[in-house]
Chain A
Amino acid sequence: MNAEVRAIKTPAEQALSAAFASARSTLPGKGAVAALREDAFRQFETRGLPHRRVEEWKYTDLRALMREAYPLAAPPDAAAKAHAKAAGDMFSGVDCRRLVFVDGDFAPELSDLKPEPGLSIGSMAEALASGDALVAANVGKTFVTDDVAVALNTALMGDGAVIRIAKGTEIKRPIHLVFAAGSDKPSSIFIRSLIVVEEGAKAVVIDDHDSGPAQVNAALDLVIGDKAQVDYCKITRARGLHVASLLASVGAKAQLNTFAFTNDAAVLRNQNFIRFAGEGTKAGIRGVSLLRGKQHADTTLLIEHAAGHCESREQFKAVLDEQAHSVFQGKIVVKPHAQKTDAKMMTRALLLSDEAEADNKPELEIFADDVVCGHGATVSAPDETLKFYLMSRGIPEQESEALLVQAFIGEVIEEIAHEGIRDALMFAALRWLGTHA
């Protein structure tokens, strides 16, 4: 057998190697963290960027999409921070605790750090540098995967949020993580966050990214304790490439609701690796993508029922106009002892033009014999009967089509428990509809 295969060939792969080589000594974290980074980068080096012959990446060929890898982002200056002030405006009508990151770096002076019992907030860069125990115990350990995007993130991670919600604490206001683009210079940003919600705690988190022209690789380790309740929204607007990984481990009798939303992303991949490690948990994994032009959004899920008696509902809707492309890959794995698993996955795409394309790949891997699992996928044009019904009541054609799309995505947006967030997303969706050709 040959020595290690070096798969670094393309200019982007070489640039990433060079970036790691020069940055490794200054990236935060020594000892164990540095070793973690080295390990992760080696994983990338043996396989290179994923391409279309890698099954999980067949519709989002990163090797082809990344002609080059931009240099690592410089820390934001005053101008960049000023530029980022208006970020997160989608939720300006919702009372949240804002934590602002500019070009991936935590900006405490722009954030709400008022102390709250049971809540601790910090910067990932600082935590890595100081050898923080919580970070050491959890980052890279919530969901074991050999995914290359995750490996690259682990190797090059700069800053992000570290949030811990103590046992039994209910955080009333949503925690709004605002990842804003400060600089207009194309750069690479590697964001890593950790959120630990301890037993019986409750929190709502909005992970809001406005990536600008940067190549962003974001990852979040989400640890949910027994009986905890977490509502997590991932919002993405990006003019460049944005790859985000949610790595979640969920305890027993917990509730997890996730919602991914985009109404303006050039190339987006949201991957969710979620493991139900305890019995009796209920989870809703949902999202809406609104795409036009040549936009591309890929939602890839790996939902692992590793404990029995859990219920998961995956519901995704995409609306595509012009030459947009949406991808949905959803895999549910039911491990051998996860009896009484109840998992249902549904993906629907609405095509508003002849050239739009939706690819849906639902997968079920079931190793237990007493389960209820199902999946459904549809791709369709607007329902003409529904359109006629609306028009017959006097609503003109364009408005009817907009209402129809609103109805289509409304079904999923209505599942969001927090009224303010729900309204904000519906409003953003309606704005998108208003400008649609």
Chain B
Amino acid sequence: MLLEIKNLHVEIDGKKILNGLNLTVEKGQVAAIMGPNGSGKSTLAYVLAGKPGYEVSEGDVLLDGESVLEMSPDERAAKGVFLAFQYPVEVPGVATMTFLRTALNAQRKTRGQPEVSTPEFMKLVRDTAGQLGISQEMLRRAVNVGFSGGEKKRNEILQMAVLQPRLAVLDETDSGLDIDALKIVADGVNALRSPERAMVVITHYQRLLNYIVPDLVHVMARGRVVKSGGKELALELEAKGYAEFQDEAA
């Protein structure tokens, strides 16, 4: 098991969001997490990445059998966790290229690896950026500043491609995207599928899953996983909505 979440209880500002969530994701798997608003999907994403402010009152999160809950976000990143933000943050004054190199080298340093060589790095970024339709000019601009919604999401995938995580968590990657942008992002994500990598795709709508086809679909409601199934489950939800789960989780 690459990721094992055991009986996770999480609260923020005294409000309970996750209520005994259990989930496992194997290497090579793409697991979709769907659910109504308020089910705790984004909280799950943030807790995996280590965002401050969330209090874990019970349970554990294990990456390759190692608990990550005591690790800071940068330590988790070095261990291979990557969160593609639903609302990517603007970083004015820091060029995208510089940011990518700083992040990659910081992770390598934490892992005791040598820094990436400039030619190697430039090639990796140029190739990947090209595939994602990100221009050289955009790479010189400050991270996400003045980027459209679609460009910001593509930038998240670029970061993922450069940082090569073992566990990629995509938080509502499709939000705010039109079909064309969605296809580019999905292609980028699919290009990163690998037997060594697990992906958790969090989405409200089934549409994304036509492009990023999951191996498993889990439904979240009221802070826990209430149903799991294959990719057909997503189509069922599309047809029936989340109503039955709102009652069940209560």
Contact = CB atoms under 8 A, between A and B. Distances in A.
Interface of A: 384-386, 388-397, 399-400, 403, 406-411, 413-414
Most buried by A among B93, B102, B159: B93
Nearest to A400: B74
B167 to A, nearest CB: 12
Contacts of A403: 91, 94, 102
5 contacts: A386-B89, A393-B106, A395-B103, A395-B106, A413-B93
Interface in B38-97: 49-52, 72-74, 76-78, 82-83, 85, 88-89, 91-94
Contacts of B88: 389
Contacts of B78: 394
Given A384-B52, A403-B102, A410-B142, A391 B73 contact: yes
Most buried by B among A389, A395, A409: A389
B93 A395 contact: no
A409 B92 CA distance: 9
A385 B102 CA distance: 18
Most buried by A among B89, B107, B163: B89
A368 B52 CA distance: 50
Given A407-B94, A411-B92, A413-B93, A394 B77 contact: yes
A407 B92 contact: yes
A3 B104 CA distance: 74
A388 B92 contact: no
A386 B83 contact: no
B77 A393 contact: yes
Given A392-B82, A410-B92, 19 more contacts: A385-B89, A386-B89, A388-B52, A389-B91, A391-B74, A392-B50, A392-B76, A393-B77, A393-B107, A393-B159, A393-B163, A394-B103, A394-B106, A395-B74, A399-B106, A406-B93, A407-B91, A411-B93, A414-B93
Nearest to B89: A389
B74 A397 contact: yes
B110 interface: yes
A111 to B, nearest CB: 35
Contacts of A409: 93
Contacts of A410: 92-94, 142
Given A399-B106, A407-B91, A407-B92, A392 B163 contact: no
Interface residues of B, number: 29
Interface of B: 49-52, 72-74, 76-78, 82-83, 85, 88-89, 91-94, 99, 102-104, 106-107, 110, 142, 159, 163
A395 to B, nearest CB: 5
B156 to A, nearest CB: 10
Contacts of B107: 393-394
B102 A395 contact: yes
Contact of A388 (B73, B99, B163): B73
Contacts of B94: 403, 406-407, 410
A45 B49 CA distance: 65
A391 B93 contact: no
A394 B163 contact: yes
A394 B50 contact: no
A388 B52 CA distance: 8
Nearest to B144: A389
B89 A396 contact: no
A381 to B, nearest CB: 14
A413 B94 CA distance: 12
A400 B76 CA distance: 15
A391 B91 contact: no
A394 B110 contact: yes
Most buried by B among A393, A396, A403, A413: A393
A229 B167 CA distance: 54
Contacts of A394: 74, 77-78, 103-104, 106-107, 110, 163
A400 B50 CA distance: 15
Nearest to B99: A393
Shortest beta-carbon contacts, A-B, top 5: A410-B93, A394-B77, A394-B107, A393-B103, A391-B73
A165 B73 CA distance: 56
A232 B215 CA distance: 61
Contacts of A408: 92-93
A388 B50 CA distance: 9
